[in-house]
Structure 1
Amino acid sequence: MHKPRLGVVVIDCQGEDPAAYEAFWAAALGRERETDPIDPKYRDLRGPEAEIGVLAPAVDHPPRVHFDIETDDIDAEVARLE
């Protein structure tokens, strides 16, 4: 059987100053902002290794929160969720 798991929580940040939203969520969740991201649009809010990952990307659409599911078999996971 395939292995699905919750990968990260994604908090989309829209607005004139996405860095301010990232700073808010980092402080609210007790995490540190990524200081030197590979892609400045996607910020990893770093926390303890044992906790779920949190991303705070800058987006062009209305803000939302969603979960990214990871799996070792995408087709099986799609079928299971459908």
Structure 2
Amino acid sequence: MAHRSRLAGFIIDCNTDDLDAAADFWSRALGVSIADRDAGDGSAEYQQFGDTPGDLHIEVQKVSHESRVHLDIEADDVDAEAARLEALGAKKIAFVKRWWVMEAPTGQRFCVVRMKHPERGTPPTRWTD
């Protein structure tokens, strides 16, 4: 079955007790606004940026692991995209709520998330089996 995917954006993982200060720093550093200080869902703390280059989704996330940046790939079929990436050599690490945490053959972690606005930004790539 065919599915579509593309780069969604970047998540700045912050091991911090002050997510407001982290969001303020990254907002100023990147020259973007803070669009939603309460973008989390109860079990996770996020702050989302607005006015981002290329309409990329960029947010800061409070985490318990070391600080790092990871990217999200969005797909209209999360499982199909995870399987495609596995075939390329990635590993599934965990399914969290509604997305896959994966690891590239070179060790970087990334997430495969549900596509929110396929009509915006760069058209997604269509993949066939």
Please tell me the TM-score bracket, short chain as reference.
0.7 to 0.9
Q: How far 1:38 sits from its partner (Å)?
A: 4.8
What corresponds to 1:37 in structure 2?
Answer: 38
Q: Unaligned 5+ residue runs, structure 2?
A: 87-129
| Partner Cα distance (2:36, 2:80) in 1 | 37
Q: Unaligned 5+ residue runs, structure 1?
A: none
2:46–2:61 contact (8 Å) kept in structure 1: yes
CA RMSD of aligned residues (A): 2.1
What corresponds to 1:66 in structure 2?
Answer: 70
- SS of the equivalent of 2:65 reads coil
Which one has the bigger strand percentage?
Answer: 2
| Partner Cα distance (2:73, 2:11) in 1 | 11
Which one has the bigger helix percentage?
Answer: 1
Q: How far 1:60 sits from its partner (Å)?
A: 1.7
1:13–1:22 contact (8 Å) kept in structure 2: no
Which structure is higher in RCO with an 8 Å CA cutoff and minimum separation 6? 1
- SS of the equivalent of 2:8 reads strand
What corresponds to 1:6 in structure 2?
Answer: 7
Most deviating of 45-54 and 33-42: 33-42
Count of residue pairs brought into register by the alignment: 82
Check if 1:46 corresponds to 2:46: no
- The one-letter code sitting in structure 2 at the alignment partner of 1:76 is A
1:14–1:62 contact (8 Å) kept in structure 2: yes
- SS of the equivalent of 1:37 reads coil
Would the alpha carbon gap of residues 80 and 38 (structure 1) be closer, same or farther in structure 2, given more than 3 Å must change?
closer
What corresponds to 1:78 in structure 2?
Answer: 82
TM-score by length of 1: 0.81
Check if 1:18 corresponds to 2:22: no
